[in-house]
Structure 1
Amino acid sequence: MAWDTEATRKKILDAAIAEFSERGFSGARIHQISQNSACNRERIYFYFGGKTQLFEAALTHQLVTALDDLPVIGSGPEAIADFAGRYFDFSRSRPSLARLTFWEGLERGHPVGAEGRALHSSNKVSEIRAALPAISEAGAEDLLLTIVTLCHAWISTPNVHLVITGEPDEGRRRAAIMRASELLAFDDGAY
């Protein structure tokens, strides 16, 4: 019987995403990932090389999925607001991305897989510039950074919104992120 390497890699990656997003890099255990994926530790090391490379693969996979699966559709500030709303929805449905980037910042202090991630981010910046032709490169980068951090903060720091607004209201937060993104798109002189 042939070994399904892609299915095995996916099982390991899924288990790693869950483990790292829950416990961070330092708290995650390869033994637990092995157990949760039903793959032996040697297979994990064979496919990914080690804990650092596995963390990088988990985070990169989540980020690439988010940026590639959510295009900026249309033009004008409304298109940016729409993208921000869909990114918020994506972040809520896959909280591991926000948690992984949070852990990365706290524990690693530098981005893993920066070159590949920068390429995907650059593509998204280009989409924003296509939707807002008058925006500068730096303005589009700042706008993307603002949208991503606003959406991720909702997931990775739930304590903050509980203090400021009381019980979480996802509809209200989604609308506020969309409104802020649209206003920033107007404010940058794009329209």
Structure 2
Amino acid sequence: MARFTPPAADAMRARLLLAARDEFAAVGLAAGKVERIGVAASSNKAQVFHYFGSKEGLFDALVADSVTETFAEVPLATDDLPAWAGRLHDSFVRRPWAQRLATWHRLERADVPLESVATSFADAVAEVEHAQRAGVLPRAFRPAVLLGLVLHTAAFWTATDAEYEPLVHAVTPPRRRQVVVDAVTALLGG
């Protein structure tokens, strides 16, 4: 079967997003340089403005894509929230830039809500609420609070401060994953 080759515009947009991912994850939006992104994408800064309108537009598109990619890679499983948290943890470990981009967004663009991200979260909260109403999940926490606790628990190890890391350094990667699963199990009263 022939391999699909995206049109040149799609390929250029993808290269810009990949280069922007590395740049913005490392230094954030304010310190990120469109010129470096253009060079890393084998392009130029004019292409960033052509495809995304601005540096901020590129950053916002990248954050939105990162959240969409996370939920696509790890679809919410309300029937086994602890296992889902473990898979989400695995995704964050494989894709460290996802947490870094989310942090930069909270720091530098918190006043700019991203509609697609808000929709993803609202859909996930609705799924949790539905599972609570069906008796699949406990109602000890409101749906949005429960989802937030699970998301943050799954991200714990990849969002740990450098100063805190030595205190938990001895916890091996497989054990870290198990801690996430156990913590969410305990959160659900199991």
How far apart in 2 are the matches of 1:161 and 1:111?
A: 30
Q: How does 1:40-189 map to 2 (within 5 A)?
A: 40-73=44-77, 75=79, 79-113=80-114, 115-132=115-132, 133-134=134-135, 135=138, 139-186=142-189
Q: Is the 8 A contact 1:161 1:168 kept in 2?
A: no
Q: Which has the higher helix share?
A: 1
Q: How many residues align?
A: 182
TM-score (norm 1): 0.84
Listed one character per residue, the Cα deviations across residues 118-159 of structure 1 (whole Å, up to 9, x for unaligned) are 111122223333444345596221122122223334223342
- Partner Cα distance (2:54, 2:7) in 1: 21
Displacement of 1:93: 0.5
CA gap 1:123/1:74 in 2 versus in 1, 3 angstroms: closer
Gaps of 5+ in 1: none
In the alignment, structure 2 segments of 5+ residues that lack a partner are: 1-5
Moved more, 155-164 or 26-35: 155-164
The alpha-carbon distance between structure 1 residues 92 and 30, as it changes in their structure 2 partners (threshold 3 A), is: same
CA contact (8 A) 2:153 2:184 kept: no
Q: Any idea what the Cα deviations from partners look like across 1:95-135, whole Å, max 9, x if unmatched? A: 1110011112223343541x221111122223333444345
Q: Which runs of 4+ in 1 moved over 4 A?
A: 135-138
Correspondence 1:23 to 2:24? no
- Looking at structure 2, the residues matched to 103 and 142 of structure 1 have their Cα atoms a distance apart, in angstroms, of 22
Tell me, yes or no, if the aligned pair for 1:125 and 1:137 is still in contact at 8 Å. Answer: no
* Cα gap change, 1:7 to 1:176, in 2 (>3 Å): same
SS at match of 2:43: coil
